[in-house]
Structure 1
Amino acid sequence: MSGKALRDLNTIPGSEKKNESSSKVSLTKQFVGNADENVEECQKKNSASLVSPQTNGNEIANTTAETGSSEVEYIESENLNDLEDVDASLKTLLASLDSKDWVLVCEALNNVRRLSIFHKETILYMLGDVILLVVKSLKNPRSAVCKTAIMTSADIFSAYNDTLIDSLDPLLTQLLLKSSQDKRFVCEAAERALVAMTKWVSPVLLLPKLQPYLKNRNPRIRAKASMCFCRSVPQLGVEGIKAYGIDKLIQTAASQLSDQLPESREAARTLLLELQTVYEKFHTETAVSEDPDMGSWENFCQSKLSPLSAQAVLRVTNIGREGLVLGS
């Protein structure tokens, strides 16, 4: 992972607000003041709906602000229509994604989604460049661009699966960042994209990518990475977990049990219960000793973990097992 990507992880923008959750937003392009200013900030500054910015304390009349209104819809994947002219869209795709016109960028991102769904072979040759430009949009302070890029990421995961693994790092970095911020509607969209990632990208390839984020100094990043890790491991299946190394997975989960945020700890507990079930399943199938304690879960944990970690893991799995018995 590049140093730049790691630096990105450790700073979450503080200017983003919490209270945006609409599925369709009305956006106004401002040609006075700061052209890149977030629409939400414009709305916060004005007492009426979408009026011109103020400069030096003096209100500029609406009639002097040359504005043009545009609507950007957040269209769910199943509601996207096919492109009318695929060739024309392909010719302008990269330039449109890199445009300074945010409305054009949103249109291009939705075209990436359409191409991924209906014509995924057509952009395979430039998929790396497309992903880099999607990452650029994920960093955009304008919420409409950012959320559309997040939705694009989810469709890319669904369409290209393991094909994008070499380009995954910067995409993963930004999605973890966006899922960790305070603006709810962006955060929720990013979480859905991460769920799509764990569903469509092979865990054998994804787990090593997630591993460094589990030790990130930002606790929110660690929590989101832990949740992804927890979702991805069961996709390995029993044989896959054995091949990957159940001891390595237990050590990873144990390290998250004492993490700062409850999301990390809960993900670790869920994963440990899954690993206990898998271990006992294949141990029962392969046990040849007459002494059942020789290969017990307790002995296995004590042999692979420090005494304190083993104690914590066994406390979690014993409580979990008791809960299952009581609930049955």
Structure 2
Amino acid sequence: MSEKALRDLNTIPGTERKIESSLTKVYVDNGNKNTEECQKKNCSSLVSPPSNGNQTVNPGIETGITEVEYIESENLNDLEDIDKSLKTLLAGLDSKDWVLVCEALNNVRRLSIFHKEAILNMLGDVITLVAKSLKNPRSTVCKTAIMTSADIFSAYNDLIIDSLDPLLVQLLLKSSQDKRFVCEAAERALVAMTTWISPILLLPKLQPYLKNKNPRIRAKASMCFCRSVPQLGAEGIKAYGIDKLIQTVAPQLSDQLPESREAARNLLLEIQNIYEKFHILAPAIVSEHSEMSSWENFCHSKLSPLSAQAVLRVTNIAREGLVS
């Protein structure tokens, strides 16, 4: 190595110096080896061992354009020393060294998958620090935190509802930004959230974001809301309140972004079917006109004239399509 190269190397911070390998990849999620270039020149990447059973790759850092790879949750290996990981977990998550933060985030993922009871007593603090990492401007840290959020949803379900808000707002923001690989990861985390957290608890958390000033956030929140409601089931939707749901969803029909409008249309059709299931005892002997009148009367009684008209336009078009 030339003297100039040595001098350049010595200018790199201690946490980012080359250790043993010149390989500059971060293994934190994807088994199918999705890659992305760092957003800045002279950025460095943490090298975590790939999921090959024994994880023998040595970490290494070097400057320049780097490729980043991630390990999917199902390919993560268990921790070798659980007690040590627990003792250093919060300090690692709160570190100023982004390499240590990524390592700690991946340990949260492993603990959530293999030893979820071990961090129950510190789960609130863990979630607060994961949310802090979601705000990190370094894409590697941010995406690792997003994947950690998804694993937390999968492991702890409703147990995190009281700590959900800081994760939710950041995931909505990240899913509506322009960095595609971050956006896609955040969308997957939001799907995990609506899959693993009970809708009866999640829907009130989502509702305020349906009126957010940012149209992209409104769209993502609307998609989550409309994905979560059907999980209530017919009886659950009736108990929650069909009137409350159409009053919440109807304004999304005129939203700025098509994602909001499409999600609202799909949910309103489902709500209509459930309404008619409970309010028409014998649909086979009831005329089509009277059936529609019942739904029409309900919409007009619960919505403003313009909103009712918009909802009926959507549901009538769908009905006409089925008849034809």
| TM-score bracket for the superposition, by shorter chain length | 0.7 to 0.9
Alignment equivalent of 1:244, drawn from 240, 249, 256: 240
Q: What is the deviation of 1:294?
A: 9.6
Q: TM-score, normalised by structure 2?
A: 0.79
Q: Which residue of 1 aligns with 2:178?
A: 182
- Report percent identity of matched pairs: 81
Q: Deviations over 1:97-135 (max 9, x none)?
A: 111111111111111011001100000000000001100
Please list, as runs of the form range in 1=range in 2, the aligned pairs for 1:89-100 lying within 5 A after superposition. Answer: 89-100=85-96
Alignment equivalent of 2:317, drawn from 310, 316, 319: 319
Instruction: Answer whether contact 1:219 1:260 (CA < 8 A) is retained.
Output: yes
Alignment equivalent of 2:278, drawn from 279, 282, 287: 282
Instruction: Answer whether contact 1:22 1:185 (CA < 8 A) is retained.
Output: no
CA distance in 1, matches of 2:207, 2:228: 12
CA distance in 2, matches of 1:230, 1:238: 14
Please list, as runs of the form range in 1=range in 2, the aligned pairs for 1:117-266 lying within 5 A after superposition. Answer: 117-266=113-262
Between 1:69-78 and 1:144-153, the stretch displaced more is 69-78
Q: What is the deviation of 1:295?
A: 7.2
Q: Deviations over 1:244-282 (max 9, x none)?
A: 110010011111111111111111101101101111111
Between 1:132-141 and 1:275-284, the stretch displaced more is 275-284
Q: Which residue of 2 aligns with 1:41?
A: 40
CA RMSD of aligned residues (A): 2.4
Q: Deviations over 1:171-221 (max 9, x none)?
A: 000000000000000000000000000000010100000000000000000
Do the aligned partners of residues 71 and 110 (structure 1) sit closer, same or farther apart at CA in structure 2, a change above 3 Å counting? farther
Q: Which residue of 1 aligns with 2:22?
A: none
Instruction: Flag as ranges the 4+ runs of structure 1 deviating above 3 A.
Output: 67-73, 289-295
CA distance in 1, matches of 2:295, 2:280: 11
Runs (5+) with no aligned partner, structure 2: 1-31, 45-60
> Is 1:23 the counterpart of 2:22 in the alignment?
no
Aligned residue type for 2:225: F
Runs (5+) with no aligned partner, structure 1: 1-20, 27-38, 44-48, 51-66
**Higher relative contact order (CA closer than 8 Å, sequence separation 6+):** 1
- Aligned residue pairs: how many? 272
Q: Which residue of 2 aligns with 1:55?
A: none
Q: What is the deviation of 1:68?
A: 4.0
Q: What is the deviation of 1:22?
A: 6.7
Do the aligned partners of residues 286 and 130 (structure 1) sit closer, same or farther apart at CA in structure 2, a change above 3 Å counting? farther
CA distance in 1, matches of 2:162, 2:131: 14
Q: Deviations over 1:32-62 (max 9, x none)?
A: xxxxxxx41226xxxxx98xxxxxxxxxxxx
